[in-house]
Amino acid sequence: MEVPPQSWLAHYPQAMPSLIDPDSLGSVKELLRLAFSRFAERPAYTSLGHTMSWREMDVASRDFGAALQHVLGLRRGERIAVMMPNLLQHPVCTFAALRAGLVVVNVNPLYTARELAHQLLDSGAAAIVVLEHHAHVLEQVMLEHPGLKLQVVVTATGDLLPPVRELVTNLVVRHVRHQVPAWRLPGAQSFKDLLEQGSHHLLDDLPLKGNDTAFLQYTGGTTGVAKGAVLTHRNIVANVLQLAAWIARDLREGEEVALMPLPLYHAYALTCHLVFMRMGAHMLLVANPRDPAELVGMMRRHAPTVMIGVNSLYRSLLDAPGFDAVDLRHLKVCAAGGMAVQRVVAQRWKARAGVPLVEGYGLTEASPVVSSNRLDIVDWTGSVGLPLPSTDVCVLDDAGRPLATGAVGEIAVRGPQVMQGYWRRPEETRQVFAPGGWLRTGDIGFLDPEGALHVTDRKKDMIVVSGFKVYPNEVEEVVAMHPGVAEVAAIGVPDAAAGEVVKLVVQRRDSELTAEQLIEHCRKYLTGYKVPRRIEFRAEPLPKSPIGKVLRRELREAPELREPGAPSRQSARGREAVTAEAGDGS
């Protein structure tokens, strides 16, 4: 396939390189070594009121890495699962595993036993480090799969806190808040015990190459069951260097304080935190991003200069009690990814914080960042920015042919950050790659004349009304403009006449808001076939992923949309279904 012209390069910031050298660093382990030596005495991570320096991170990850090699006997290339929220143990375990030559399998700690079993069995994990809160889920997996050979390491919330704080924290978590269900895992070892044992061993300095696998990062991909994207050390290093070049003019080494509310087991937060590590930033780990009070408190205490988040997180902060009193004058950059940023949220954030939301685009299969708006934008642009250095982007029609500028089709990307393929799934790997190494993303969008990428929606989320395509993001953007709306999702539902029609699922900010008022609002901004025909109000927040992305697929599984007898994943509590015949508006 012919390479499209890179029109975006003419719009790069001055002195921004068009290329990076992904082979300038041999592995992620080399990134770690440089950070540990250059920023040793600077603060590295703060969690639960305690801060570890980069020197302390170096020592702890070295000791735990030695334990992985010499106590657990894990060999180079074996997979180790890490299942915990944003605690100090997370980067320690991740860095230790990489230094020991292992492959990290990041696991969502909110997984059910079924989901956890799939990831452990599919990855062939030899070990897992799990927070004790979730050990009962692992116990269920082990009981249901007696053939699963897995070394288990259990950590407690306070394990890396000073002794008195550790004792108090663990007592409160276990016996006051009752957050640790009973569990029994014969043979499980303590994280703290292994850390101590590892201090008596040398860490074998195994040579790593760029094409060695660093992470199996699980994703739903463009279709089907969750599968592991094989991300090599070269993939990760490339994306870190791409992002580092992108932010170099605006952020300073050894000076920044980065707020990290997104879970480190997610690809977006994972790579961003490695970028911040490379520049010696002080990172503030938020264990529960769904608790606005924790976020507000962290921002008051530490005055972050940079933060990452998703649209729903920024919106919840804007509505959080006490946020109006937070001093945001230190903020330089607020990055947004993972889901579309809505204009109303971007406008409110700029008005409150004084800096814009810098939206970017990526996917797990690309380590994950593909494009970003320039950091010097003044306001929300409506695009997801320009492709990063050493990144090609094109838009394909259904036959896989490149489309002209402005034409809407499937986004395809190519660059050193693109995965090697899906773990042990050659057929799905073949299907997702087009000739020439182009990754077909499953996302729909277009390139504008300046080379900026616009994402209109996920291919699988597109709604087709009487043959006309409707992109849920566009409808949600319009609905979110209404002051009576707190959250909204647009999905397609079957219709005898049109094939599909647009349905809204809405959590109201104004309890008096009616379906008729919303439909009238939509008619002002949307052509007839895009106007919602059905509206469902819910009292509870909409279902979301761990990073706060609204899960449209779960909304599509609502009882009224399933075949008779199909299982439900959503409670009917708090629902008020409204069928609103909007007419075609034509």
What CATH number did the domain enclosing 108 receive? 3.40.50.980
Quote the pLDDT of residue 569. Answer: 31
113 within domain boundaries = yes
Quote the pLDDT of residue 583. Answer: 45
Which residue range forms the structural domain that includes residue 441? 1-6+224-459
Residues 201 and 146 in one domain: yes
DSSP notation for 37-87: HHSTTSEEEEETTEEEEHHHHHHHHHHHHHHHHHTS---TT-EEEEE--SS
190 within domain boundaries = yes
State in Å, rounded, how far the first CA of the chain is from the last one: 41
Nearest in space to 156 (alpha carbons), one of 148, 147, 165, 144 = 165
Task: Tell me whether the omega of the peptide bond preceding residue 17 falls within 30 degrees of 0, making it cis.
Answer: no
Residues 334 and 273 in one domain: yes
Residues 455 and 320 in one domain: yes
> What token pair was written down for 516?
């008729």
Residues 282 and 418 in one domain: yes
Contact present, 322 and 293 (Cβ < 8 Å) = yes
**Burial state string for 327-352 with b = 16 or more CB within 10 A and e = fewer than 16:** eeeebbbbbbbbbbbbebbbebbbee
Quote the pLDDT of residue 576. Answer: 55
Residues 111 and 165 in one domain: yes
Quote the pLDDT of residue 572. Answer: 34
50 within domain boundaries = yes
Quote the pLDDT of residue 220. Answer: 65
Domain C-terminal end among 430, 459, 488: 459
Residues 314 and 454 in one domain: yes
Residues 42 and 135 in one domain: yes
CA gap 503, 489 in Å, rounded:
8
Give 161's contacts (C-beta < 8 A, 6+ positions apart). Answer: 48, 49, 50, 88, 169
Residues 255 and 113 in one domain: no
Quote the pLDDT of residue 381. Answer: 96
Quote the pLDDT of residue 498. Answer: 77
Nearest in space to 231 (alpha carbons), one of 324, 363, 335, 427 = 363
DSSP 250: T
Contact present, 187 and 117 (Cβ < 8 Å) = no
Residue 451 has phi, psi (to 5 degrees) of 85, 5
If you search the block for the tokens 């980065």, which residue do you land on? 258
Residues 365 and 383 in one domain: yes
- In the chain, which residues have pLDDT < 50? 221-224, 560-575, 579, 581-586
> What token pair was written down for 169?
């924290």
Instruction: Look up the CATH number of the domain holding residue 478.
Output: 3.30.300.30
Domain C-terminal end among 175, 208, 241: 208
As for how many domains the chain has, the answer is: 3
216 within domain boundaries = no
14 within domain boundaries = no
437 within domain boundaries = yes
Quote the pLDDT of residue 222. Answer: 41
300 within domain boundaries = yes
Residues 399 and 543 in one domain: no
Quote the pLDDT of residue 536. Answer: 96
Q: How far is CA 273 from the centre of its chain?
A: 12
19 within domain boundaries = no
Domain C-terminal end among 208, 243, 271: 208
- Measured CA angle at 219 (ends 215, 224), to 5 deg: 140
CA gap 546, 234 in Å, rounded:
27
Is residue 427 exposed (0-12), middle (13-18) or buried (19+ Cβ within 10 Å)? exposed
